[in-house]
Amino acid sequence: MNDAQNPAVTRLARALRPEAAPALGVFLPAGFPNWTAGIDLLHSFARQGAGVLEVGVPTTSPVLDGPAISAAYEQALRQGVRMTHVMGTVRHAAESGSSVVVMSYWSSVSAYGVQRFAEGLAAAGAAGAMIPDLPPALMAPWLAAARTAGISTPQFVPRDVSESALARLGAAASGWMYAPAVAAATGYQGALDLAGMQHFTRRLRARSHHPVVAGIGISTPARARAIGPLVDGVVIGSPIVRPLLEQPGKLGHAQATARVRQFTEALRDAAPLLNPHPTASA
């Protein structure tokens, strides 16, 4: 099966179609805050307008993540989460009607088995997987496994990416190109350079026809509204994870769900640019 034959991939493309308002993606680690609550929350997020659900693979070395998501991973691992739970979470999340994408660090994929990981995600109903620290030397085996399984391979693009690396990532991408709003770990709440972000997204669009999705540093609905016109989707994680860490139980769940609704409403209000999608060049 190729990705054009995978209905999950088609669902992702619909969520990120350029003529629509920017899609909201919500990140949650598998098994957090616990197995059943995490699945219930993902369904709640979908009902509040999250068109993309990003399931994180818990790891002991989340090199791109700040304190909140690192703590969530640690809690999930303490509770015994393994890759089988990730696959189960994907399967349940896909039943929500929203598109499901997995975010994993390379060490977890390598330990589980590259082909096994890709095939397991496809069978569970995932549209694809993003591996932000994928070593360039191992890009080809991952792309081959994903292509065989019929899932997308979104690519994380560092803010300081060179033109040669950007060309390579653009060629490898399917599903989306991930544009961090800042060069920082997840959970960043400092200032955003919107002019710099606009320049960055234009670079990505010049190298790839795939949707551009932003994340990292989009800590409030107001920031999502400001970033929205530049991109096809926004993924949030720390703003949702924090209340779940700080207020365990029903209160935290209610606060996280309410925040998803606020971000959804902010993106609906985001006014598009006149031409945010220039023609891609080789």
Cβ neighbors of 181 (< 8 A, separation 6 or more) are 192, 197, 214, 215, 216, 217, 218, 223, 227
Provide the terminal-to-terminal Cα distance of the chain, rounded to the nearest Å.
Answer: 27
8 Å CB contact between 206 and 280: yes
> Residue 15 phi/psi, 5° resolution?
-65, -30
Whether residue 278 is preceded by a cis peptide bond, meaning omega within 30 degrees of 0, is no
3-state secondary structure of 234: strand
How many alpha carbons fall within 13 Å on the CB side of residue 223?
Answer: 21
Give the active site residue among 3, 40, 65, 95.
65
- Catalytic: 65? yes
Q: With residue 105 as reference, give the H or E element that holds it.
A: none
Mention every residue, 6+ apart, whose C-beta is less than 8 A from residue 58. Answer: 29, 30, 31, 32, 72, 73, 74, 76, 77, 81
From 40, 54, 119, 133, the catalytic residue: 54
> Which residue is listed with tokens 């997020």?
45
Catalytic residue set: 54, 65
